[in-house]
Amino acid sequence: MPRAQLELSLSMKDLNERQFRGNKFSRSPSKDDNRYGKKEQTEKPIKQKCIICTNQNTCQTVRTRTAQMRALIHQNKPHEVHFIYKTLTDEGHIPSLVTYTTLMTALTEERRFESIPKIMSQVEETGIKPDSIFFNAVINAFSEAGKINEAMSVFWKMKASGCKPTISTFNTLIKGYGIAGKPEDAQHVFDMMSPDNDARPKIRTYNTLIKAWCDGKNLIEAWNVVEKMQASGFAPDIVTYNTIIGGYAKTGDTGKAERLMLEMQTRLQPDKRTWAIVISGYCKEGNMRDAFRCVQDMNEAGLYPNIVVFNTLIKGFLDAHDMAGVDEVLKLIRRFRVEPDVVTYSHQINAWSEMGMINKCMEVFENMLQAGIKPDYQVYSILAKAYARAQDPAKAESILQEMKENGIKPNVVTYTTVISGYCSATNMDDAIRVYMRMMEEGISPNIKTFHTLIWGYGEAKLPSKAEEILQIMQDSGVTPEKETYDLVACAWKGVGLQHEAERVLNSLNGSARGSVGKNFEDPTEGEVLEGINGRYSGSKNKNLVRVPSSISVNRLEMDGRFFGIRLKCSVFCMNRWQARPQLYGRIRTSSKLISVN
């Protein structure tokens, strides 16, 4: 066997021997440890437990660390939450329910949804009874992940446990169905709300449902919700109008969106976000002339364009490959004395990266540093991607060290980008080495990471290794998707073994898929417990969230199931606003500016 192939086989053997526990691979010491620069350990030190925590009380340390975790989330540093949490548990403390809820929020912010089952398992093991806030955090995590079936399963479990759903619960589910592209089901959730209790719809509920219909490009139903909203005594606010205007922009009818914006000025003044939505709509249509005109109109209306608007223009000109237009926007930024931000430069770096012009990327990067703007992880990820595209994965990997030197911890996106660079060069030894480095840093791989490795082995004509990655992926608690099996099958097809490809695809077809409709039927408590646990274990505390062990979770996920729900892998534009003068009421409100890029 050639030396390179032998080393690859050894590295994969070591990889398969390791088992995923938490955020790191761990295994029993072996004679191969010296090969990885590790010393043998004959005995693992016993962790000292906190006496207060073991007596089912929350000690002051847990309260303090939890407050620090929440502060980091407010500071947009969710990735630092895990270090505090790990330190807390390593010191022998037992996290409180508030701690787990905060950690769930951080994972959602980072979009590390694959860790949700692990957190719920830990809550079960501690014997803590979840409250509505924790349930809502779990529902929100599943909703943000696009796993709305699982979110509904948790909703029914919440009711069965005696925990009453709140207005936030319904708002989150409506939002979740909107994210999943299922506005009809969002409407069903809305209809489940009772007007006679605390969970009756509020203006935020109506606006969330309107957004679901607008995201589905169904403006007729969106206007119907506005009618119901008014009938319930709620006047449309700036959020309502911004959502409808955004709906028209999504359908490619930004002209109608602008006319609605002008019409609403009779009673309710558009804010900067309203203008930004219209400008963004024109940019996405490639209509930079009207986008630029709107910036001038916005200025004449007494609203000075902010950096969000200018960044939108820059991206529009970059998408049109109009570098002269970008220069004009940069001149306007200086004229209006608006401070550019990291997004201003990241758009430009990304555009040059896609053109394969790494020198231009570095030129913009240097300009950013000279302007005193500190790069964030996204900028570094773009640079790593640029080097990977330029067939220089070693340089892409050097970005990881540069990030650490500047106090920025590389995330799974950055590592996966570097791995992709090595996979593109069919250098799977280094791809696996970077993967192992990521694991040693305590960073969990996501489905994109595994897809990249599988694709890499396919390119290297090593389909058996690609299938081994599929198994490692399952053992790590990451649920394979149809694309995962397709990639493995393609790897087998690449070496002419069609029957092996069919075997892989047949294993996917064995996974059952069901409909969503049953989610709206209120199941019995036994059905909920059986659905969430796979089987009811007869626990004395029926209010406890029953989550399978890590092995059971993996088995359920391999079967295409999760939380007891089987997974399953027309546009209307109407000029209705012209005939609706009753919509315009006297409302004074404020809104927070967010990026529309």
The string of DSSP letters for 369-438 reads HHTTPPP-HHHHHHHHHHHHHTT-HHHHHHHHHHHHHTT----HHHHHHHHHHHHHTT-HHHHHHHHHHH
Distance CA 365, CA 137 (A): 38
pLDDT, mean of residues 334-362: 91
Distance CA 313, CA 284 (A): 10
Reading the block at residue 54, the tokens are: 């073991």
Q: What is the DSSP letter of 572?
A: B
pLDDT, mean of residues 11-34: 40
Q: Taking 80 as the threshold, does the pLDDT of residue 9 lie above it?
A: no
Measured from the Cβ of residue 4, the count of other Cβ atoms closer than 10 Å reads 11
Reading the block at residue 394, the tokens are: 């070693």
585 vs 314, residue with greater confidence = 314
At residue 509's C-alpha, the angle toward residues 508 and 515, to 5°, is 110
Distance CA 393, CA 420 (A): 8
Q: How far is CA 195 from CA 192, 223, 285, 353, in A?
A: 10, 21, 41, 53
Spatial CA neighbour of 215 closest among 263, 189, 185, 248: 248
Whole-model pTM: value is 0.65
Distance CA 356, CA 254 (A): 32
Contacts of residue 31, Cβ cutoff 8 Å, sequence gap at least 6: none
- Give the start-to-end residue ranges of the domains of the chain: 445-511
Contacts of residue 277, Cβ cutoff 8 Å, sequence gap at least 6: 242, 245, 246, 249, 257, 596
| CB 379 within 8 Å of CB 346 | yes
pLDDT tens-digit map of 459-473: 999 999 999 998 898
Q: Taking 70 as the threshold, does the pLDDT of residue 564 lie above it?
A: no
pLDDT tens-digit map of 248-275: 999 999 999 999 999 898 889 999 999 9
pLDDT tens-digit map of 73-110: 888 888 888 888 888 888 888 888 999 999 989 888 88
Q: Which of 162-171, 501-510, 532-541 has the lowest mean pLDDT?
A: 532-541
